[in-house]
Chains A and B, each alone.
Chain A
């Protein structure tokens, strides 16, 4: 394995792993606060149990996110010294702001998780608010860095002396920032909402009568449904932006080889980059022109009109894009179905039909699948550039030969951690929560349950 491949693989593994926990850190505090607010206002034991369980899940997953995020902040320099030498000054302020937000998140999460014994219920709830707000902000700040890499604002350049930047606040001037921040935040809330609702739906389907499940289903699906539907609009904005700013990436996403007016959208299939064809795909005429430019007659540039050396790996980008869009569409559909049946059943307290619960269970991992696939599109689709049009990935990589070793080491580490987290979450699901308000979240309030 050469150093470039190893470094890219280590970065991919580290990002893919961290992404899941980052999403939880962004979205779970919102659910936790909604549940606790309901518990305080109504005294409902189900809502209280849910808020306790969510606090535990957040505590566990946030810690994994914090340490894997630290690893990423080092790995940027360790694996890509050429990138950081150029980009450090431009992305520094955004990272520093992200650090501020993350600091607040960590401080108030400490207060929230361990403050039961020290604070009144409402004061305790308020310590969760900065956790949720700074979680959202830290995500938006760090996405600014990525937006800058995708789409550096006008006037940015790389010379022998280093970076030429129009402003030290360049990441926030990238035309991609707001679009990407909205898209990634919605991806986080949709993923976590579906995952939470899916766990509850699975429990309800097998007849588990513990009272926190209906709350989890409603709160989780509430957030998931709004996010999944809003994501359709956000996705459309992003597609039109990519069509303007990264036409090669768009062509790779759509496996679109020949420049054409009224271009057809290509769904699925196997890409043959050498031949410039897609086998076994479904094509729908004119749709690509509409998606990219809002005009069925618009011309969409194909891959063949670009230097082949500037193509990303078309197969990976196209498949990842279709996976993301496919998952997103299914989630939106399930959101509508859930919305319809909840609206019909409102007031009467009627349970959702079993098949709707099944849909939610099956859709529950799709948010995370779409999240990962979307980042593959974003990152693999930008290749061969690390900063679009300015710096190639191969010129940014470390020369350290032990990168192959660290890649395998970190992959094994994250595999092990992933297994441990899954086992712990399964145990959380089975265990009983003591309902005694006032226990610190850490003091062994979970006991092995018999459910």
Chain B
């Protein structure tokens, strides 16, 4: 494997980690918004408890993705930033409002009206952000963004294409599903039942939307269709579909831990199928990763900086999740 492929692998790992961990945090916000029934406040507390300590760390994966893109594929990332100028700005708005509304609600005065308003903003921003991320993925795969003589054309058509919109909604559903499944593990009793019910309902939406997305890929993005139905892409997507069915079955039989594992496999595989089909294009069809890569020395230097990351950040993350997701409270 060459240096460029290593960079691609690292980029994918960061993107997948962001999708799973931050995706679940966004999904938590979605569930906060749609929480209903007599236990909705308890549900909201469980959601806040699940994401409070970890959302900022999970958020850093996005910064890694951006830094890897602009340092390793500077020309490609310049095209991305022009083609996605508007959706990226809206995404930033979503990311900012999600973060601040969550901390303002957690740390501010516990007055009902304030809690409700910050909570509403938190939910709306948590809905908008994954939709925009999905739209961006759709736009770079749609084939509608063209780079002709250095000018970036067709951005609006790409962002608003049916495929991009459908991918946005699909990303939203997947995030909410992740959160609901994760919360079945992190809660008990009737609360776990509530999240199971949400997960099964949202899982139905995920299945329906994946059908819509596949149909649109077949119609609008033949290159992506080929990548998803042939070669390694096909194997990865099949794995994802199997994991999706498995996670649904495991939820039905209340095997929550196994369902969580299956859901993670599902999300990583679906994203992996997309990545395999998209590679080597950053923006199909005019921007190829290999043609816009930074000099070899830069790629090596960036990969070198990831060694301290791997040595320090990974065990620290493991500690964070172990303390908050596996360790009981101290006895008083």
Asked whether, in the complex, the Cβ of B104 is within 8 Å of the Cβ of A96, the reply is: no
A400-442 CB contact bits vs B (8 Å, 1 = yes)?
Answer: 1010001001100100010010001001000100000010001
Q: B324 in the interface, Cβ–Cβ < 8 Å?
A: yes
Given known pairs A95-B67, A99-B63, A104-B313, the reply for A78 and B107 (CB within 8 Å) is: no
B315 closest partner in A (C-beta): A107
Nearest-Cβ distance from residue A187 to partner chain B, whole angstroms: 23
Contact partners of A102 in chain B: CB under 8 A: 60, 63
**How distant is the Cα of A66 from the Cα of B81 in the complex, in angstroms?**
21
A276 CB within 8 Å of chain B: no
Cβ of B297 under 8 Å from chain A: yes
Chain B residues near A100 (CB-CB < 8 A): 305-306, 308-309, 312-313
CB of B305 within 8 A of CB of A93, answer yes
Complex: chain A residue closest to B327, CB-CB: A118
Residues 68-88 of chain A: 1 if any B CB is under 8 Å from the residue's CB, otherwise 0?
Answer: 111101111110011011111
- Do B89 and A420 touch (CB < 8 A)? no
Instruction: With A104-B316, A168-B300 as known contacts, state yes or no: A63 contacts B81, CB within 8 Å.
Output: no
Q: How large is the interface on B (under 10, 10 to 19, 20 to 34, 35 or more residues)?
A: 35 or more
Indicate if the CB atoms of A96 and B67 lie closer than 8 Å: yes
Q: Are A96 and B305 in contact (CB under 8 A)?
A: yes
Known: A92-B71, A119-B330, A120-B330. A82 touches B78 (CB 8 A): yes
B residues in contact with A103, CB < 8 Å: 57, 60, 64, 309, 313, 316-317
Comparing B27-35, B94-102, B205-213, B282-290, the segment that makes contact with chain A is B94-102
Q: Is B165 an interface residue (CB 8 A)?
A: no
Give chain B residues whose Cβ lies under 8 Å from the Cβ of A389.
none
Chain A residue numbers with a CB within 8 Å of B60 are 99, 102-103, 106
Q: A406–B95 contact, CB under 8 A?
A: no
Q: Known: A71-B92, A78-B85. Contact between A86 and B74, CB under 8 A?
A: yes
CA distance A272 to B57 in the complex (A): 50
Q: For the complex, is A115 an interface residue (Cβ under 8 Å from B)?
A: yes
Q: Which residues of A lie under 8 Å from residue B74 when comparing CB positions?
A: 84-89, 162
Inter-chain contacts of B316 with A (CB < 8 A): 103-104, 107-108, 130
Number of residues of chain A lying within 8 A (CB) of chain B: 74
Q: What secondary structure prevails in chain A residues at the interface with B?
A: helix
A56 touches B77 (CB 8 A): no
> B residues within 8 A CB of A119?
323, 330
CB neighbours (8 Å) of B68 from chain A are 92, 96
Residues of A within 8 A of B191 (CB): none
Task: Say which residue of A56, A78, A93, A427 sits within 8 Å of B301 (CB atoms).
Answer: A93
Please tell me if the beta carbons of B297 and A92 are within 8 angstroms of each other in the complex: no
Q: Give residues 54-69 of B contacting A (CB, 8 Å).
A: 54, 56-57, 59-60, 62-64, 66-68
Residue A114 lies at the interface, judged by CB distance under 8 Å to chain B: yes
Q: Which residues of A contact B78 (CB under 8 A)?
A: 77, 81-82, 84-85
**Which partner residue on chain A sits nearest B311 by CB separation?**
A100
* Complex CA distance for A69 and B60, rounded to whole angstroms: 10
Closest residue of chain A to B306, judged by CB? A96
Return B310 CB to nearest CB of chain A, in Å. 9
Tell whether B106 is near chain A: CB-to-CB under 8 Å: yes
Minimum distance in angstroms from B29 CB to a CB of chain A? 14
**B70 is an interface residue with CB less than 8 A from chain A:** yes
Residues of A within 8 A of B319 (CB): 107, 111
Residues of B contacting A169 in the complex (Cβ-Cβ under 8 angstroms)? 301
B232 at the interface (CB under 8 A from A): no
Q: Does A210 contact B (CB under 8 A)?
A: no
**Is A67 a contact partner of B298 (Cβ separation < 8 A)?**
no
| Minimum C-beta distance from A49 to chain B (A) | 16
Neighbouring A residues of B306 by C-beta, 8 Å: 96, 100
CB pair A59 B301 closer than 8 Å: no
Of the residues B93, B106, B301, contact of A92 by C-beta under 8 Å? B301
B170 to chain A, nearest CB (A): 23
Contact across chains for A77 and B66 when beta carbons are under 8 A apart: yes
Q: Does A110 have its Cβ within 8 Å of any Cβ on chain B?
A: yes
Whether a CB of chain A sits under 8 angstroms from the CB of B149 is no
Q: Which of B103, B323, B332 contacts A59 (CB 8 A)?
A: B103
What chain B residues lie within 8 Å of A86 (beta carbons)? Answer: 74
Asked whether A111 lies within 8 Å of B309 as measured between CB atoms, the reply is no
- Give B324's nearest chain A residue, CB to CB: A114
Shortest Cβ distance from A21 into chain B, in angstroms? 11
Contact A111 B88 (CB under 8 A): no
Contact B63 A70 (CB under 8 A): yes
Given A70-B62, A84-B70, A96-B306, A59 and B77 contact (CB-CB distance below 8 Å): no
A84-B70, A92-B72, A120-B330 are known contacts. Are A111 and B323 too (CB-CB below 8 A)?
A: yes
Chain B nearest Cβ from A321, distance in angstroms: 32
B38 within 8 Å of A (CB atoms): no
Residues of B within 8 A of A78 (CB): 81, 85, 88-89
Query: Do A81 and B302 form a contact, CB below 8 Å, given A66-B56, A67-B96, A118-B327?
Result: no
Q: How far is the CA of A398 from the CA of B287 in the complex (A)?
A: 18
When the two chains form the complex, which single residue of B57, B70, B99, B330 contacts A110, counting CB atoms closer than 8 Å?
Answer: B57
Cβ contact within 8 Å between B86 and A402 = yes
A117 to B331, alpha carbons, bound, how many Å? Answer: 8
A115 to B320, CA, bound (A): 9
A77 to B64, CA, bound (A): 14
- The interface residues of chain B lying within 8 Å CB-to-CB of A366 are none
Q: Which among A60, A68, A118 is the interface contact of B324 at CB below 8 angstroms?
A: A118
- Min CB gap A422→B, angstroms: 12
Within 8 Å CB of A73, what residues of B?
63, 66-67
Contact with B along A125-168 (1 / 0, CB 8 A): 00000100000000000000000000000000000001000011
Taking a contact as CB atoms under 8 Å apart, the answer to whether B70 and A77 are in contact is: yes
**Minimum Cβ distance to chain B for residue A371 (Å):** 21
Knowing A60-B107, A63-B56, A63-B99 touch, does A84 contact B81 (C-beta < 8 A)?
yes
- Could you show 27 A-B contacts with beta carbons less than 8 Å apart? A59-B103, A59-B107, A60-B104, A63-B100, A66-B56, A70-B62, A71-B92, A74-B92, A75-B92, A78-B85, A78-B89, A84-B70, A84-B74, A85-B78, A92-B68, A96-B64, A100-B305, A103-B60, A103-B316, A104-B316, A107-B313, A107-B316, A120-B330, A400-B82, A400-B85, A402-B85, A438-B330
Binding site for A on B (CB under 8 A): 48, 52-54, 56-57, 59-60, 62-64, 66-68, 70-75, 77-82, 85-86, 88-89, 91-93, 95-96, 98-100, 102-104, 106-110, 294-295, 297-298, 300-302, 304-306, 308-309, 312-313, 316-317, 319-320, 323-324, 327, 329-330, 332
Question: A-B pairs with the 7 shortest C-beta distances?
Answer: A92-B71, A88-B74, A168-B301, A89-B294, A114-B53, A77-B81, A81-B78
Residues of A that sit less than 8 Å from B by CB: 56, 59-60, 62-64, 66-71, 73-78, 81-82, 84-93, 95-97, 99-100, 102-104, 106-111, 113-115, 117-120, 130, 162, 167-169, 398-400, 402, 406, 409-410, 413, 417, 420, 424, 427, 431, 438, 442, 444, 446, 448
Further 7 A-B residue pairs, CB within 8 A, beyond A106-B56, A442-B107? A68-B96, A100-B308, A103-B57, A107-B313, A110-B52, A168-B295, A400-B82
